[in-house]
Amino acid sequence: MLKVYVSLHTCAFIDAVLGRSFVFVSIRIFHFRPFSSSSCQTISLLLLVSFSSSSLMAHSGIHKDRGELRIHESLDELRTDLADYIAELSEASVKERGFFAIALSGGSLISLMGKLCEAPYIKTVDWAKWYIFWADERVVAKSHADSNYKLTKDALLSKVPIVSSHVHSINDSISAEEAAREYEFVVRQLVKTRTISVSEINDCPKFDLILLGMGPDGHIASLFPNHSVLNEKDEWVTFVTNSPKPPPERITFTLPVINSASNVAIVVTGESKAEAVHMAMDDVGPECSKLPARMVQPTKGKVVWFLDKQAAAKLDSPQFAV
């Protein structure tokens, strides 16, 4: 009699580098002979199974009223999840409105968006429908190493088929105050044509997505702790000339604009930001309410935090602490 046993040895191990899992399967074939010795053959197979990135995510969930939190095992995993998230929002906005109005920040965020330049996104994203803005910009020449525009152009915009007239960067040949006024005017024209949607609650622009980084001091865009621009209620775009982080002159979206967006993603990595993440998420006393990152609370939109394990290391909540 021939008996076949398939034992799916659950000795799956994760190759974090490839982001794939291997499953070891062995098939045992018994030739059972009643009056003679039985024989057994084992065929072992190594199956390569691709799991979706989310199945490898360390933790994910909704953190009280702070929004969705996605904590990733590795930067590579975070990059893939971020690219998937942006591609999905782009697809949904294009389907619903015909446009995708996205505002970027500078800093580490841009390299973390790098997967968008690769397959499959380079071919599957409807780049022609993207309209690009900056949630903040340093008032320096566009060719300067400090320019958020230059950073994005070199790392992303030059590598994807974006329509150049859809890229709205600041005028770098005028003062910070003038650049802020002019940038707000550009945004107002595009709200008029509904290339950028409008909030139903106030007359603020409603970006499909605003992508933010966060500094170790808890600043987002160019909204720094204890700065008077945090109280700006009327302007959409304002300016600072005394940024604690160089360069000193910047323009920035105000909180009413950030909090009117349909979606806001805050992307934070590294242990130097763990304390600020803790302050932004957990109830650590009255001081934490003054942290700019904690003031990101869209009225109707969704916030998603993309963290790596290092940035999430000081979180209180047991379900998210790593």
Ligand X SMILES: O=C1O[C@H](COP(=O)(O)O)[C@@H](O)[C@H](O)[C@H]1O
Q: Which residues contact 132 (CB under 8 A, 6 or more apart)?
A: 102, 103, 104, 152, 157, 162, 166, 167, 168
d(CA 230, CA 152): 25
Q: Side chain identity at 267, as an amino acid letter?
A: V
Closest to ligand X by CB, 69 vs 135, is 135
DSSP string, 57-84: -SEEEEETTTEEEEEESSHHHHHHHHHH
Interacting residues with ligand X (CB under 6 A): 105-109, 136, 148, 212-213, 215, 221-222, 245
d(CA 303, CA 280): 13
Q: What is the DSSP letter of 56?
A: G
The least distance separating ligand X from the CB of residue 222, rounded to whole angstroms, comes to 6
The least distance separating ligand X from the CB of residue 64, rounded to whole angstroms, comes to 24
Best CA proximity match to 205, nearest among 135, 154, 143, 142:
135
DSSP 3-state assignment of 101? strand
Closest to ligand X by CB, 56 vs 264, is 264
Q: Which residue is nearest to ligand X (CB)?
A: 107
Q: What ranges in the chain are assigned the alpha helix state H?
A: 75-97, 109-112, 121-124, 148-155, 176-192, 255-258, 274-281
The least distance separating ligand X from the CB of residue 128, rounded to whole angstroms, comes to 26
Closest to ligand X by CB, 76 vs 91, is 76
Distances (CA, A) of 67 to 158, 233, 276, 306, 312: 32, 23, 16, 11, 14
Closest to ligand X by CB, 199 vs 222, is 222
Closest to ligand X by CB, 108 vs 299, is 108
The least distance separating ligand X from the CB of residue 101, rounded to whole angstroms, comes to 18
Closest to ligand X by CB, 209 vs 212, is 212
The least distance separating ligand X from the CB of residue 105, rounded to whole angstroms, comes to 3
| Backbone CA torsion sign across 269, 274, 275, 278 | positive
The least distance separating ligand X from the CB of residue 171, rounded to whole angstroms, comes to 17
Closest to ligand X by CB, 129 vs 168, is 168
The least distance separating ligand X from the CB of residue 49, rounded to whole angstroms, comes to 34
